[in-house]
Structure formats: C-alpha cells, structure tokens
Chains A and B, each alone.
Chain A
Amino acid sequence: MTGGITSPGAGWRQADQGPAVQQRTGRKRRHRGRGRHRGEVPMVEDVEFTSYYGRQIVKTPVWKSPDVPLYLFLGGAAGSSAILGALADLTDRPTLTRVSRLTAGAGSLASVVFLIHDLGRPERFLHMLRVIKPTSPLSIGSYILAPFSAAAGATAAVELLGWFPRLKRFGGAVAAAFGGPLATYTGVLLANTAVPSWHAPHTQLPYVFGGSAMAAGGGITMAFTPVEEAGPARKMAITGAVVELAAMHKVETDHGILSEPYHEGRPGALMRAAQVCTAAGATLTAVAGRRRWGAVASGTLLAAGSLLTRFGVFEAGIASTKDPKYVVVPQKERLAARQQEHADTTTR
C-alpha cells in the first residue's frame, strides 16, 4: 500500500513528496453558484457551497410547459366557477348560472386534455384510476378531476342543449362539491415533491392556487355576465385576488434562499407581471366592474394574472432544481441546526 485512500492521509498526495502524512484538512475547493443577474435585488447573501461539478442534485420535473401550468389554471378557474354556478342557481341568477356552468364545463374538459397530453404514455391515462393512494396527490387529484369533469361537462352539455333541468341542478351541485378540492389540490401536487422551491411553501401554495382560482373564475364569469347579475362574480374575484396576492407574498418572502427563484430571471418576471395584472384587475373590478367595458377589462386582467401566477410558480420550481445551491444550502443549515439542538439536549 503506497498511501491509498485508507492511509492516514486519506488519499491526499503531493506531487513531489508522495502521500501526505497527518495533514490537517485544508480548504475545500468550492464550486460557486452562478453570479447574480444585473439589476436584481439580492434576497439573501451569496453563499459558498460544494457540489459535484456544479451539477444539479434533484431531477428537473419532466412535466411539460405549457401543459401543466395550463392544467393548473383551467382546473382552478373551472373549480371556482362550478361553485359560483351552483350558488347562483340556488339564488335564481339564470345568466350567471349558465355562464358559470359553461366555464366550468369547458375548463374541466380542457384541463383533462392537457393533463392526459402531459403523460409519457397518454393511452394509459386510465391507469390513474387503477389504485387510490392518499400519499399521492395525483391519485387523489384523479379521483377529484374525474367526477368533477364528468359532472361539470355533463351539466354544461345539458345547459347548451336545454334538456333535463333538474339533472342540471344535480350535476352542478356535484361539480361544486369537487370544485374547491380541484382548485386547491394542485398546490399539494406541486408541493409534495423534492423540488426545493415548491416544497418549502407547502402550506401556502394551496391558498395561492385557491385564491388564484377564485380570481380567474370570478373574472371570466363576470366578463360574460350582464353587470347587474354579476355581483357575486365580482366579489369572489376581488376576494380571490387579495388572497392570491397575500399568499403569494408569503411564498416570495418566507423561505430565505428558496424564495429566491420567485424573484429571479424568467419566473421572477412572470411573478411580477402576475402581480401587476391581478392587482390592476382587482382594483378595476372595484372601480369600474359595474360597467360593461370595465367588467370585460378587469375580468381579462384577473384571468391573465391567475395564468401568469401558475406559470411563474411552475417555472420558479423548475429553476430551483437546476442549481444545486437550493438543495445543498438549506439542507446543510437544517443539519447544522439539528446538530446544535442535539448538542444542547445532551449537555443539559
């Protein structure tokens, strides 16, 4: 043995001296993360960390864009519209009911198409209903989406055809029951992953998506409903926008280095655009929502804000997988904190 890895030098060798003997461990070579882009305000200090040649640790999700962000958006808009439609039906608002049902039906069918298109083997989409697993948000989501899209789709179809008025009310109620879970489970879908910037805000994302869904659903329905009947849609849209902005603010500020991807690069630009659209849409709804042009403009802004939020959140997560910093740094901090805690308890 000439000083292999198991020798006291642990494999360290020096060019002209052979194996090292009892050297103290020196500075490690660090692979620094990429530099910050110009004009961006640093959320946290640049940190030193080690990685394997700067390679990413967790895999980047293979979920496709725009399939998945569109699925999130359409599912949310459909879910909140279904709730609104059922309630409008009960309180005798025929046009709002009709518009909400059509939105829910169209949104749910389109979201199913996008979800299936995203599969690696689309022809096997029925395998989703092979088992039911509470540990898999996608499994639970399939059992939410399947009855929702069946009920909302059928309700929208009979609404168009004008058949079976009683069945319509029942279908609308079923869709409304699954509408809320459909809009918020997608937050769990993204959060229950090893993607650092999705997992960190795991209790906040459902609120972001729930609020975003109400903003989108309220916005779309109010744009297509006469203003005198669209009061509930306006109120839901404004509340949804406020919830979305508030929850998203927490996602963007609560998580230290893991909030960073929500501010930088393309996802950062998407998030900023989303905020502008949502805030402007909510304000315009309050100011001019009772006029036709105002309802159309603010509804469009709110829907756009919701859509941009989904794209921004999706892409921020994708970005957080591509830099090993977002895996290594928080985990090292977690380890250090745990060791500190351990030291504290053992020296009691």
Chain B
Amino acid sequence: MTISSASPAFTGRDPENRLFGPLPDVTAEAGYEEEHPKRVGFFTDTSVCIGCKACEVACKEWNTLPMDDSHGVRDALGLSGMSYDNTGQLGANSWRHVAFIEQSRAVDLPMPTFGRPGDDRAGSGPSPAVAGDDVSLADAQQSVLNAEALSEYDPQTGQSGADKQIRWLMSSDVCKHCTHAGCLDVCPTGALFRTEYGTVVVQGDICNGCGYCVAACPYGVIDQRKDDGRVFKCTMCYDRLTDGLQPACATACPTQSIQFGDLDELQERADARLATLKAQGVETARLYGRDENDGVGGDGAFFLLLDEPEVYGLPPDPIVTTRDLPAMWKAAGKAAAMMIGVAVTAVLGSRRR
C-alpha cells in the first residue's frame, strides 16, 4: 500500500470527494492500514500559560533549530521592541512561539465624590457644590493626586492607573497539524506527508524549496530557511513519537499548558476545561481549532483562548484554500477553452493572404 501525500479527496477512498469538512479518520484516509496509531495532538490551554518559553527552548534544543530574531533574520540577537515576545512569529526556525499580549482597558468608575476616603457611602455626605468645605476639598484633591502617583500614567492611552485595568495574555502557538492541511495539499513534490499519527511532516531530503506551502498555510506557520532553501515546521517531534516519547515542548511545559495525547481524549479534556472556566465566570474563554466543522476540518493542535483569535495573531476563520480548488480548475479549463476558441475564430476570420 502506498502512503499518499495527496488529499483524501483524490485517493479514491473518500466517496464524498471531500476537500474540507470533518474527517473522522484522517490517518486511514491518507492510506495507512487499519491498525495505525490513534491521531495525536496538542491541547494548548492558554489560561495556565505563564509565558516562561520553556517550550520554545526545548523545541530549539531537541530539533537543533538555528537562532533568529523576531523577523526571521538568522543568527541575529534582536529585541522586537513591542513586548516581552522577542520570538515574534512561527517560522522555519521557531516551531513554538509564545505570544505575549499586554492589554489595558478603561474602567467606568463612578463620578468621584468629594469627601474623605471612606466617606463615599451612597447618600451620605454633602455634595461639594453646597458644602464649600475647603478642608475636605483639599483632602479629596490630595487623594486623587496620591492615586495618580501610585499608578503610572500611560502615555499611550492617556489614562492613569486609577481608571484602567491591565492584563497579560500568554499563548504558546504551534503548527496546527490541520485535518485538511493546505501545505500538504499543495506540495508538488510529496515532501510534506501525513504520518501514521495523523500529523503533517516535511521530508527534508525531498523538499526542493518551491515555497508553495508557505503561501498556502492559512495560519502562516511554515516558512523557508533562506540560507538552506528548504521549508521547515513543527513535526510534533515525529522522532520522539516513534520512540514512545512526548514532544519536547509538552515535556518541558511546567504548567501543563501544553498537553499532548490522543486527539479525541484531548478534545474531551478541553471541553471539560472550557465548561469549568465558563462556570467560574470567564465568559471570554473559547476553544480555537476544536470544531471539526471549521474551514480546515479541525486542528490537530488546538487552543483554549481568553480573547478573540486575532488578538493572539491567529486568523479568526481559517479555510483551507483547496476547498475552492475545483472551482478554480473549472475556471482555468474554461479560460483555456476560451483561448482555443478565440484563436480558431481569429484564424478563420482572417482573410488568407
């Protein structure tokens, strides 16, 4: 049996010719025997991520990835200048990337009442207009000044700390190992392939650096190493998996933010975790890449986020580009036929010399 690097839609094993949508057994669809291992994945729970970047370091160490700065410049030590995140993005040399987001928001405080601190009980105390009490006014001004001195004034938002809240969001991003992987679909050499674990891996000895996968990934994960010419991305530590080990990043994560395991089990765990958070009142918590009906048929590496995906640099609604490929081939066929038609008409419509 040949292991196909083509999309399930074209292997003949998929009666519905699906280029996107749910695919219960992506590994079997790729051509593996019945008794293949279960599909594995990552569940990255960003609500417990502490931004330590142990995953990034472990990944670099295990996979001997070169150093680069936040713009992918090789062997450069550079600060991004935007946050504690100096990795910046996923790329050929960064297969884990810890996003670091500092958010601030204005708080709708009640109008300040002029009076001694603690005197602001509802209905109590005279209003400043009628009081005319110089002592209490001075005290109030003093207390406002103190509050400003205690908290830093943020020149970017023009707000002082008294009416502003901040929070930090951290999330370890990684290749999503999509059910319908755009990179895998468009690879013309077969260098990208689906492993027996349902993950997507590049074969370095086959890749000829055409770069099609780079343009096709809806998440902007895979990239070319300029001085090498070939493309690189997360393998979910394929070499470790075959030896019964967990991927380096999941092993290194001190808070179990990165959880590795069988995908169906992780999905159950994630659903339970989301329910817990919702019950605790974290209304903005959501799962990303969990839905098998999304544009890529669900991700092998999915996330629990605390804000909109784009806040973390993730596309809000990624769709595998190959979904529209039948329409494109049809248009190209019609356009080619049009060219023949125009040429025939032009030749027949011209007088012989």
Contact B332 A206 (CB under 8 A): yes
Name the distance in Å between B325's Cβ and chain A's nearest Cβ.
Answer: 6
B21 at the interface (CB under 8 A from A): no
A35 CB contacts on chain B under 8 angstroms: none
A324 CB contacts on chain B under 8 angstroms: 310, 313
Interface residues of B in 96-136 (CB under 8 A from A): 99, 101, 103-108
Name the distance in Å between B290's Cβ and chain A's nearest Cβ.
Answer: 15
Contact B324 A202 (CB under 8 A): yes
**A: contact size bracket:** 35 or more
B222 at the interface (CB under 8 A from A): yes
**Partner pick for A14 among B88, B164, B229, CB 8 A cutoff:** B164
Nearest B residue to A194, CB-CB: B218
Name the distance in Å between B263's Cβ and chain A's nearest Cβ.
Answer: 23
Contact B217 A184 (CB under 8 A): no
Interface residues of B in 28-62 (CB under 8 A from A): 47-48
With contact pairs A59-B217, A240-B342 given, residues A133 and B228 touching in the complex (Cβ less than 8 Å) = no
B314 at the interface (CB under 8 A from A): yes
Give the residue among B152, B167, B215, B315 with the most A Cβ atoms within 10 A.
Answer: B215
B140 at the interface (CB under 8 A from A): no
Interface residues of A in 118-170 (CB under 8 A from B): 118-122, 124-125, 127-128, 130-131, 133-139, 141-142
Bound Cα distance A23, B307 (Å): 15
Interface residues of B in 156-189 (CB under 8 A from A): 157, 161-162, 164-169, 182, 185-189
Which of A4-12, A266-274, A303-311 binds B? A4-12
Bound Cα distance A148, B38 (Å): 44
A193 at the interface (CB under 8 A from B): yes
A281 at the interface (CB under 8 A from B): no
Bound Cα distance A138, B213 (Å): 11
A101 at the interface (CB under 8 A from B): no
B222 CB contacts on chain A under 8 angstroms: 59
A22 CB contacts on chain B under 8 angstroms: 281
Contact B352 A180 (CB under 8 A): no
B210 CB contacts on chain A under 8 angstroms: 118-120, 128, 138
Bound Cα distance A170, B307 (Å): 63
Contact B209 A91 (CB under 8 A): no
**Partner pick for B165 among A20, A63, A228, A236, CB 8 A cutoff:** A20
Name the distance in Å between B297's Cβ and chain A's nearest Cβ.
Answer: 14
Contact B317 A210 (CB under 8 A): no
Contact B215 A180 (CB under 8 A): no
B91 CB contacts on chain A under 8 angstroms: 59
Contact B5 A133 (CB under 8 A): yes
A16 CB contacts on chain B under 8 angstroms: 147, 150-151, 161-162
Name the distance in Å between A134's Cβ and chain B's nearest Cβ.
Answer: 5
B340 at the interface (CB under 8 A from A): yes
Which of A49-57, A102-110, A293-301 binds B? A49-57
B219 at the interface (CB under 8 A from A): yes
Bound Cα distance A327, B317 (Å): 9
Contact B189 A130 (CB under 8 A): yes
Give the residue among B89, B167, B314, B322 with the most A Cβ atoms within 10 A.
Answer: B167
A34 at the interface (CB under 8 A from B): no
A253 CB contacts on chain B under 8 angstroms: none
A185 CB contacts on chain B under 8 angstroms: 332
Contact B150 A206 (CB under 8 A): no
**Partner pick for B336 among A118, A210, A240, CB 8 A cutoff:** A210
B322 CB contacts on chain A under 8 angstroms: 135, 192
Nearest B residue to A142, CB-CB: B188
Interface residues of A in 159-218 (CB under 8 A from B): 179-181, 183-185, 187-188, 191-195, 199, 202-207, 209-210, 213-214, 218
Contact B342 A52 (CB under 8 A): no
Give the residue among A93, A195, A205, A235 with the most B Cβ atoms within 10 A.
Answer: A235
Contact B310 A52 (CB under 8 A): yes
Which of B234-242, B246-254, B343-351 binds A? B343-351
Which of B6-14, B194-202, B264-272 binds A? B6-14
B338 at the interface (CB under 8 A from A): yes
B224 CB contacts on chain A under 8 angstroms: 62, 120
A87 at the interface (CB under 8 A from B): yes
A58 CB contacts on chain B under 8 angstroms: 215, 217-220, 315
Bound Cα distance A156, B246 (Å): 58
Name the distance in Å between B218's Cβ and chain A's nearest Cβ.
Answer: 4
B24 at the interface (CB under 8 A from A): no
With contact pairs A188-B329, A202-B328 given, residues A135 and B7 touching in the complex (Cβ less than 8 Å) = yes
Bound Cα distance A118, B231 (Å): 14
Contact B168 A181 (CB under 8 A): no
Bound Cα distance A29, B82 (Å): 14
Bound Cα distance A60, B327 (Å): 24
What is the interface of chain B, defined by CB distance below 8 A to chain A? 5-7, 9-10, 19, 47-48, 80, 82-83, 88-89, 91, 99, 101, 103-108, 147, 150-152, 157, 161-162, 164-169, 182, 185-191, 206-212, 214-224, 228-231, 277, 280-285, 306-308, 310-318, 321-322, 324-325, 327-340, 342-353
What is the interface of chain A, defined by CB distance below 8 A to chain B? 5-8, 10-16, 20, 22-29, 49-53, 55-59, 61-63, 79-80, 83-84, 87-88, 90-93, 118-122, 124-125, 127-128, 130-131, 133-139, 141-142, 179-181, 183-185, 187-188, 191-195, 199, 202-207, 209-210, 213-214, 218, 228-229, 231-236, 239-240, 243, 324, 327-328, 331-332, 334-335, 338
Give 3 nearest A-B pairs by CB, closest first. A120-B209, A120-B229, A231-B350
Other 15 A-B pairs with CB < 8 A, given A12-B165, A83-B340, A120-B230: A6-B280, A28-B307, A80-B343, A83-B343, A120-B210, A120-B224, A127-B206, A128-B210, A137-B325, A138-B210, A184-B333, A188-B325, A194-B215, A203-B328, A209-B335
Q: Please list 8 pairs of residues, one from A and one from B, whose beta carbons are closer than 8 Å in the complex, sorted by A's number.
A: A6-B48, A15-B164, A131-B189, A133-B190, A136-B212, A180-B340, A184-B335, A210-B339
